[in-house]
Amino acid sequence: MKAVWSGFLLSVQFLTVIPIRKQIDWNDATARWSVRAFPLVGALIGVIEAVTYFMFSSFSSLSPLFLALSLMWLSIWIAGGLHADGWMDVSDAFFSYRDVKRRQEIMSDSRVGAFAVLSILFLLSFRFLFMFETICSDFDIFLIAVIPVLSRTAMAWLLIYGKPAKQTGMAAAFREHADRYDAHVAMIIGNCLLACLCAIHFSVWKTVIFLACGTIFAVFVARLFFEKQFGGITGDALGAFVEGVETWLWCMIWLLRSYVMV
């Protein structure tokens, strides 16, 4: 149980800005449970976002514009900008149109290029659009908690099943200890969390299945893309994936509410 708890705390410490004062030892058991706990961290993030949205929406004076913007920035802030930074680094590397080795070097560069700024503006603008349109429709607040669970579960799966681009960095450090069994455990935990959400509010189960299928598709596409363009998976690639898949899931909800559930 100590390894389970330490692994969860390590995931919280790494994937969020929630302060964890405890010194956590990095070892095989802790690293493996950290990967398995990715969906739990997603659930924690989702609950914080859903509760914050519920509190804000209880004030009738707050517009859907404010709710959408605050929810979007909360998702960026609670992750400490880690995934947004990954998206920007990957964008700079991809739009350099260099060879794989040079792209890896660009991703490791701390400097921010023009394409990084343009791409993050593009990403967040469309996410805000999808959020705003969804909030203006008949929106189920439970879906706010579903998205981070799916994105972090998929991140664990991509981390283990994707080919490492290099032997150093965050992704390589986790891959040194974790294997496919840990990805399966993470998936089981993620499915259990989603089942609990559906049990609490049964009406969302069809939407959850729809989003889960979209997430599986995103993992498949992301794995092929990263391996072709960057030689494999890196920490920046995982961060970019989380930002991209969350925008994709909000797009799916918007499409579902706009063109299916009319």
Asked whether the predicted pLDDT for residue 170 surpasses 90, the reply is no
Structure tokens at 5: 């708890």
Report, as an integer, the average pLDDT of 125-145.
91
Asked whether the predicted pLDDT for residue 179 surpasses 60, the reply is yes
In this predicted structure, what is the pLDDT of residue 21? 79
What ranges do the domains of the chain cover?
39-261
Return d(Cα 201, Cα 216) in angstroms, integer: 23
In this predicted structure, what is the pLDDT of residue 108? 81
CA atoms within 13 Å, Cβ hemisphere of 189: 25
Per-residue H/E/C for 100-167: HHHHHHHHHCCCCCHHHHHHHHHHHHHHHHHHHHHHHCCCCCHHHHHHHHHHHHHHHHHHHHCCECCC
Asked whether the predicted pLDDT for residue 260 surpasses 80, the reply is no
pTM of the model: 0.93
Residue 164: what residue type? P
Return d(Cα 198, Cα 221) in angstroms, integer: 27
Mean pLDDT of all residues belonging to the chain: 90
Asked whether the predicted pLDDT for residue 95 surpasses 50, the reply is yes
Asked whether the predicted pLDDT for residue 190 surpasses 80, the reply is yes
Cβ proximity of 30 and 7 under 8 Å: yes
91-100, 142-151, 253-262: the lowest-pLDDT one:
253-262
% the chain with pLDDT above 90: 61
